[in-house]
Structure 1
Amino acid sequence: MAVQGQRFMTKTQHYRKVTKPLLERKRRARMNLYLDELKDLIVDTMDAQGEQVSKLEKADILELTVNYLKAQQQQRVASPQSPPAANQVNLDKFRAGYTQAAYEVSHIFSTVPGLDLKFGTHLMKQLGHQLKDIKQEESCPEMAEEPVNLADQKRSKSPQEEDIPHGEDVWRPW
Protein backbone atom coordinates (compact mmCIF):
# COMPACT_ATOMS: atom_id res chain seq x y z
CA MET A 1 0.00 0.00 0.00
CA ALA A 2 1.50 3.30 -1.04
CA VAL A 3 1.49 6.28 1.27
CA GLN A 4 -0.53 9.14 -0.07
CA GLY A 5 1.60 11.30 -2.35
CA GLN A 6 4.26 8.62 -3.05
CA ARG A 7 4.51 6.62 -6.20
CA PHE A 8 6.00 3.23 -6.83
CA MET A 9 9.40 3.21 -8.53
CA THR A 10 9.63 1.64 -11.96
CA LYS A 11 12.48 -0.72 -12.77
CA THR A 12 14.21 2.00 -14.76
CA GLN A 13 13.94 4.48 -11.93
CA HIS A 14 15.21 1.88 -9.45
CA TYR A 15 18.18 1.12 -11.74
CA ARG A 16 19.08 4.80 -12.09
CA LYS A 17 18.71 5.58 -8.43
CA VAL A 18 20.09 2.45 -6.70
CA THR A 19 21.72 -0.10 -8.98
CA LYS A 20 23.73 2.14 -11.31
CA PRO A 21 25.58 4.02 -8.54
CA LEU A 22 26.32 0.72 -6.80
CA LEU A 23 27.71 -0.82 -10.00
CA GLU A 24 29.75 2.30 -10.71
CA ARG A 25 31.20 2.23 -7.19
CA LYS A 26 32.21 -1.43 -7.64
CA ARG A 27 33.80 -0.67 -11.03
CA ARG A 28 35.84 2.21 -9.59
CA ALA A 29 36.89 0.10 -6.62
CA ARG A 30 38.08 -2.64 -8.99
CA MET A 31 40.03 -0.15 -11.11
CA ASN A 32 41.63 1.36 -8.03
CA LEU A 33 42.58 -2.09 -6.72
CA TYR A 34 44.41 -2.97 -9.93
CA LEU A 35 45.99 0.47 -10.17
CA ASP A 36 47.34 -0.02 -6.63
CA GLU A 37 48.77 -3.42 -7.61
CA LEU A 38 50.30 -1.90 -10.73
CA LYS A 39 51.73 0.94 -8.65
CA ASP A 40 53.39 -1.55 -6.27
CA LEU A 41 54.92 -3.43 -9.21
CA ILE A 42 56.18 -0.23 -10.84
CA VAL A 43 57.63 1.11 -7.57
CA ASP A 44 59.41 -2.21 -6.91
CA THR A 45 60.80 -2.26 -10.45
CA MET A 46 61.99 1.33 -10.24
CA ASP A 47 63.58 0.72 -6.82
CA ALA A 48 65.43 -2.27 -8.27
CA GLN A 49 66.73 0.00 -11.06
CA GLY A 50 67.90 2.56 -8.50
CA GLU A 51 65.16 5.15 -9.08
CA GLN A 52 63.17 6.50 -6.13
CA VAL A 53 59.48 7.33 -6.46
CA SER A 54 57.63 9.14 -3.71
CA LYS A 55 54.09 9.56 -5.01
CA LEU A 56 52.41 8.46 -8.20
CA GLU A 57 49.09 9.59 -9.56
CA LYS A 58 46.94 7.24 -11.59
CA ALA A 59 48.09 8.81 -14.86
CA ASP A 60 51.74 8.46 -13.76
CA ILE A 61 51.21 4.77 -12.99
CA LEU A 62 49.73 4.15 -16.43
CA GLU A 63 52.45 6.19 -18.17
CA LEU A 64 55.28 4.36 -16.40
CA THR A 65 53.65 1.01 -17.15
CA VAL A 66 53.33 1.80 -20.84
CA ASN A 67 56.96 2.98 -20.99
CA TYR A 68 58.16 -0.14 -19.17
CA LEU A 69 56.22 -2.48 -21.48
CA LYS A 70 57.54 -0.66 -24.56
CA ALA A 71 61.12 -1.02 -23.27
CA GLN A 72 60.57 -4.73 -22.63
CA GLN A 73 59.16 -5.16 -26.12
CA GLN A 74 62.16 -3.39 -27.66
CA GLN A 75 64.55 -5.60 -25.68
CA ARG A 76 62.78 -8.72 -26.94
CA VAL A 77 63.08 -7.54 -30.53
CA ALA A 78 66.73 -6.49 -30.11
CA SER A 79 67.96 -9.69 -28.43
CA PRO A 80 67.32 -13.26 -29.59
CA GLN A 81 65.11 -15.58 -27.50
CA SER A 82 67.94 -17.84 -26.33
CA PRO A 83 71.28 -16.05 -26.31
CA PRO A 84 74.38 -18.06 -27.21
CA ALA A 85 75.83 -17.43 -23.75
CA ALA A 86 72.87 -19.25 -22.16
CA ASN A 87 73.34 -22.17 -24.55
CA GLN A 88 77.03 -22.29 -23.67
CA VAL A 89 76.21 -22.36 -19.95
CA ASN A 90 73.77 -25.24 -20.52
CA LEU A 91 76.36 -27.11 -22.58
CA ASP A 92 79.01 -26.57 -19.90
CA LYS A 93 76.63 -27.88 -17.23
CA PHE A 94 75.78 -30.92 -19.35
CA ARG A 95 79.45 -31.64 -20.03
CA ALA A 96 80.30 -31.30 -16.33
CA GLY A 97 77.47 -33.66 -15.39
CA TYR A 98 78.47 -36.14 -18.08
CA THR A 99 82.10 -36.05 -16.94
CA GLN A 100 81.04 -36.57 -13.33
CA ALA A 101 78.86 -39.54 -14.34
CA ALA A 102 81.74 -41.07 -16.30
CA TYR A 103 83.99 -40.62 -13.27
CA GLU A 104 81.42 -42.37 -11.06
CA VAL A 105 81.21 -45.29 -13.51
CA SER A 106 84.99 -45.54 -13.57
CA HIS A 107 85.11 -45.48 -9.77
CA ILE A 108 82.53 -48.25 -9.52
CA PHE A 109 84.37 -50.45 -12.02
CA SER A 110 87.64 -49.96 -10.15
CA THR A 111 86.26 -50.65 -6.67
CA VAL A 112 83.51 -53.27 -7.06
CA PRO A 113 84.94 -56.77 -7.35
CA GLY A 114 83.57 -59.23 -9.88
CA LEU A 115 82.69 -56.78 -12.66
CA ASP A 116 83.78 -57.75 -16.16
CA LEU A 117 86.99 -55.82 -16.88
CA LYS A 118 86.58 -56.08 -20.67
CA PHE A 119 83.08 -54.65 -20.49
CA GLY A 120 84.25 -51.87 -18.16
CA THR A 121 87.06 -50.92 -20.52
CA HIS A 122 84.68 -50.86 -23.47
CA LEU A 123 82.17 -48.76 -21.55
CA MET A 124 84.80 -46.22 -20.52
CA LYS A 125 86.01 -45.97 -24.15
CA GLN A 126 82.44 -45.32 -25.29
CA LEU A 127 81.96 -42.66 -22.64
CA GLY A 128 85.22 -41.03 -23.73
CA HIS A 129 84.18 -41.08 -27.39
CA GLN A 130 80.84 -39.52 -26.52
CA LEU A 131 82.53 -36.79 -24.50
CA LYS A 132 84.85 -36.11 -27.44
CA ASP A 133 81.81 -35.91 -29.75
CA ILE A 134 80.15 -33.43 -27.38
CA LYS A 135 83.24 -31.23 -27.52
CA GLN A 136 83.30 -31.47 -31.33
CA GLU A 137 79.63 -30.49 -31.51
CA GLU A 138 80.46 -27.42 -29.45
CA SER A 139 83.18 -26.34 -31.86
CA CYS A 140 81.14 -27.26 -34.95
CA PRO A 141 77.40 -26.76 -34.10
CA GLU A 142 76.08 -27.35 -37.63
CA MET A 143 77.19 -31.00 -37.40
CA ALA A 144 75.32 -31.43 -34.11
CA GLU A 145 72.00 -30.68 -35.80
CA GLU A 146 72.29 -33.59 -38.24
CA PRO A 147 70.13 -36.57 -37.27
CA VAL A 148 71.95 -39.76 -36.38
CA ASN A 149 70.93 -42.91 -38.20
CA LEU A 150 71.11 -45.83 -35.77
CA ALA A 151 71.04 -48.39 -38.58
CA ASP A 152 74.25 -46.91 -40.04
CA GLN A 153 75.89 -46.99 -36.60
CA LYS A 154 75.06 -50.69 -36.15
CA ARG A 155 76.55 -51.58 -39.53
CA SER A 156 79.80 -49.70 -38.85
CA LYS A 157 80.74 -51.54 -35.63
CA SER A 158 84.18 -52.98 -35.43
CA PRO A 159 84.65 -56.72 -34.78
CA GLN A 160 85.95 -55.93 -31.26
CA GLU A 161 82.70 -54.16 -30.37
CA GLU A 162 80.63 -57.18 -31.39
CA ASP A 163 82.43 -59.28 -28.73
CA ILE A 164 80.73 -57.25 -26.00
CA PRO A 165 77.59 -59.00 -24.71
CA HIS A 166 74.29 -57.15 -25.24
CA GLY A 167 70.99 -57.71 -23.48
CA GLU A 168 70.39 -58.53 -19.81
CA ASP A 169 74.07 -58.31 -18.82
CA VAL A 170 74.32 -54.60 -19.64
CA TRP A 171 73.60 -52.35 -16.68
CA ARG A 172 71.73 -49.15 -17.48
CA PRO A 173 70.90 -46.41 -14.96
CA TRP A 174 67.45 -45.72 -16.47
Structure 2
Amino acid sequence: MAPTYLPTDYSKLSNKEKHKLRKPAVEKMRRDRINNCIEQLKVMLEKEFQQQDPNTKLEKADILEMTVVFLKQQLQSQISAPQKAHCDGYSQCWRETMNFLSANSKLDMTLQHLNHCQEAQRAAKDLHMSPQASQISVKQETTVHRAVWRPW
Protein backbone atom coordinates (compact mmCIF):
# COMPACT_ATOMS: atom_id res chain seq x y z
CA MET A 1 0.00 0.00 0.00
CA ALA A 2 1.31 3.39 -0.88
CA PRO A 3 1.99 5.72 2.00
CA THR A 4 -0.48 8.51 2.40
CA TYR A 5 0.36 11.93 3.57
CA LEU A 6 -1.88 14.19 5.57
CA PRO A 7 -1.75 17.81 4.60
CA THR A 8 -1.38 20.32 7.36
CA ASP A 9 -4.68 21.99 6.55
CA TYR A 10 -7.16 19.08 6.38
CA SER A 11 -10.18 21.38 6.55
CA LYS A 12 -9.36 23.04 3.19
CA LEU A 13 -9.65 19.72 1.29
CA SER A 14 -12.72 18.90 -0.76
CA ASN A 15 -14.96 16.01 0.19
CA LYS A 16 -13.55 13.94 -2.66
CA GLU A 17 -10.00 14.47 -1.44
CA LYS A 18 -11.01 13.69 2.17
CA HIS A 19 -12.63 10.47 0.98
CA LYS A 20 -9.47 9.49 -0.89
CA LEU A 21 -7.43 10.04 2.25
CA ARG A 22 -9.80 8.09 4.55
CA LYS A 23 -10.48 5.18 2.21
CA PRO A 24 -7.22 3.22 2.82
CA ALA A 25 -7.58 3.54 6.59
CA VAL A 26 -11.23 2.45 6.52
CA GLU A 27 -10.40 -0.46 4.22
CA LYS A 28 -7.58 -1.59 6.51
CA MET A 29 -9.94 -1.53 9.51
CA ARG A 30 -12.50 -3.59 7.57
CA ARG A 31 -9.89 -6.22 6.59
CA ASP A 32 -8.65 -6.37 10.17
CA ARG A 33 -12.19 -7.01 11.43
CA ILE A 34 -12.69 -9.80 8.87
CA ASN A 35 -9.35 -11.41 9.71
CA ASN A 36 -10.06 -11.15 13.44
CA CYS A 37 -13.44 -12.86 13.04
CA ILE A 38 -11.98 -15.64 10.88
CA GLU A 39 -9.28 -16.20 13.49
CA GLN A 40 -11.95 -16.42 16.21
CA LEU A 41 -13.86 -19.00 14.13
CA LYS A 42 -10.67 -21.00 13.71
CA VAL A 43 -10.06 -21.02 17.47
CA MET A 44 -13.68 -21.86 18.33
CA LEU A 45 -13.87 -24.74 15.83
CA GLU A 46 -10.33 -25.99 16.25
CA LYS A 47 -11.47 -29.50 17.21
CA GLU A 48 -13.57 -29.78 14.06
CA PHE A 49 -10.70 -28.61 11.90
CA GLN A 50 -8.31 -31.13 13.52
CA GLN A 51 -10.64 -33.97 12.54
CA GLN A 52 -10.44 -33.03 8.85
CA ASP A 53 -6.68 -32.83 8.33
CA PRO A 54 -4.57 -31.73 11.30
CA ASN A 55 -1.41 -30.98 9.31
CA THR A 56 -2.97 -28.73 6.67
CA LYS A 57 -2.59 -24.99 6.91
CA LEU A 58 -6.07 -23.63 6.52
CA GLU A 59 -6.83 -20.71 4.30
CA LYS A 60 -9.49 -18.20 5.24
CA ALA A 61 -11.87 -19.65 2.66
CA ASP A 62 -11.35 -23.15 4.11
CA ILE A 63 -12.15 -21.89 7.59
CA LEU A 64 -15.33 -20.22 6.35
CA GLU A 65 -16.45 -23.30 4.37
CA MET A 66 -15.85 -25.65 7.27
CA THR A 67 -17.70 -23.30 9.59
CA VAL A 68 -20.71 -23.30 7.26
CA VAL A 69 -20.70 -27.12 7.12
CA PHE A 70 -20.44 -27.33 10.92
CA LEU A 71 -23.32 -24.88 11.43
CA LYS A 72 -25.51 -26.76 8.95
CA GLN A 73 -24.90 -29.99 10.88
CA GLN A 74 -25.79 -28.27 14.13
CA LEU A 75 -29.01 -26.87 12.67
CA GLN A 76 -30.04 -30.25 11.30
CA SER A 77 -29.58 -31.88 14.69
CA GLN A 78 -31.61 -29.10 16.33
CA ILE A 79 -34.41 -29.54 13.80
CA SER A 80 -34.53 -33.32 14.21
CA ALA A 81 -34.52 -33.11 18.03
CA PRO A 82 -38.09 -31.68 18.27
CA GLN A 83 -39.31 -34.31 15.81
CA LYS A 84 -37.76 -37.05 17.93
CA ALA A 85 -39.26 -35.54 21.07
CA HIS A 86 -42.66 -35.48 19.38
CA CYS A 87 -42.37 -39.13 18.36
CA ASP A 88 -41.19 -40.11 21.85
CA GLY A 89 -44.07 -38.22 23.44
CA TYR A 90 -46.56 -39.80 21.08
CA SER A 91 -45.19 -43.28 21.81
CA GLN A 92 -45.31 -42.66 25.57
CA CYS A 93 -48.91 -41.46 25.31
CA TRP A 94 -49.82 -44.52 23.26
CA ARG A 95 -48.24 -46.87 25.82
CA GLU A 96 -50.05 -45.16 28.71
CA THR A 97 -53.34 -45.34 26.82
CA MET A 98 -52.88 -49.04 26.12
CA ASN A 99 -51.96 -49.70 29.75
CA PHE A 100 -55.02 -47.79 30.90
CA LEU A 101 -57.32 -49.59 28.51
CA SER A 102 -55.91 -53.00 29.36
CA ALA A 103 -56.21 -52.25 33.08
CA ASN A 104 -59.81 -51.16 32.56
CA SER A 105 -60.56 -54.24 30.46
CA LYS A 106 -59.20 -56.41 33.24
CA LEU A 107 -61.38 -54.48 35.67
CA ASP A 108 -64.38 -54.96 33.38
CA MET A 109 -63.63 -58.67 33.07
CA THR A 110 -63.32 -58.96 36.85
CA LEU A 111 -66.63 -57.13 37.32
CA GLN A 112 -68.29 -59.37 34.76
CA HIS A 113 -66.95 -62.42 36.56
CA LEU A 114 -68.21 -61.12 39.91
CA ASN A 115 -71.60 -60.33 38.39
CA HIS A 116 -71.71 -63.83 36.94
CA CYS A 117 -70.91 -65.28 40.37
CA GLN A 118 -73.62 -63.17 41.97
CA GLU A 119 -76.12 -64.27 39.33
CA ALA A 120 -75.18 -67.87 39.97
CA GLN A 121 -75.76 -67.36 43.69
CA ARG A 122 -79.11 -65.70 42.98
CA ALA A 123 -80.07 -68.57 40.71
CA ALA A 124 -79.24 -71.02 43.47
CA LYS A 125 -81.43 -69.06 45.87
CA ASP A 126 -84.19 -68.81 43.26
CA LEU A 127 -84.38 -72.59 43.11
CA HIS A 128 -85.51 -72.49 46.69
CA MET A 129 -88.01 -69.64 46.03
CA SER A 130 -91.43 -69.82 44.48
CA PRO A 131 -91.74 -69.77 40.66
CA GLN A 132 -93.36 -66.31 40.66
CA ALA A 133 -90.56 -64.71 42.69
CA SER A 134 -87.89 -66.15 40.42
CA GLN A 135 -89.65 -64.72 37.35
CA ILE A 136 -89.67 -61.24 38.91
CA SER A 137 -85.96 -61.42 39.77
CA VAL A 138 -85.13 -62.58 36.23
CA LYS A 139 -87.07 -59.63 34.76
CA GLN A 140 -85.22 -57.22 37.05
CA GLU A 141 -81.84 -58.64 36.01
CA THR A 142 -82.63 -58.28 32.31
CA THR A 143 -83.58 -54.62 32.71
CA VAL A 144 -80.21 -53.76 34.24
CA HIS A 145 -78.17 -52.01 31.53
CA ARG A 146 -74.44 -52.26 31.34
CA ALA A 147 -72.48 -49.16 30.48
CA VAL A 148 -71.20 -49.27 26.92
CA TRP A 149 -67.48 -48.67 26.67
CA ARG A 150 -66.61 -45.83 24.32
CA PRO A 151 -63.05 -44.69 23.58
CA TRP A 152 -63.86 -40.99 23.72
- The TM-score, its normalising length taken from structure 1, stands at 0.38
Whose radius of gyration is greater, 1 or 2? 2
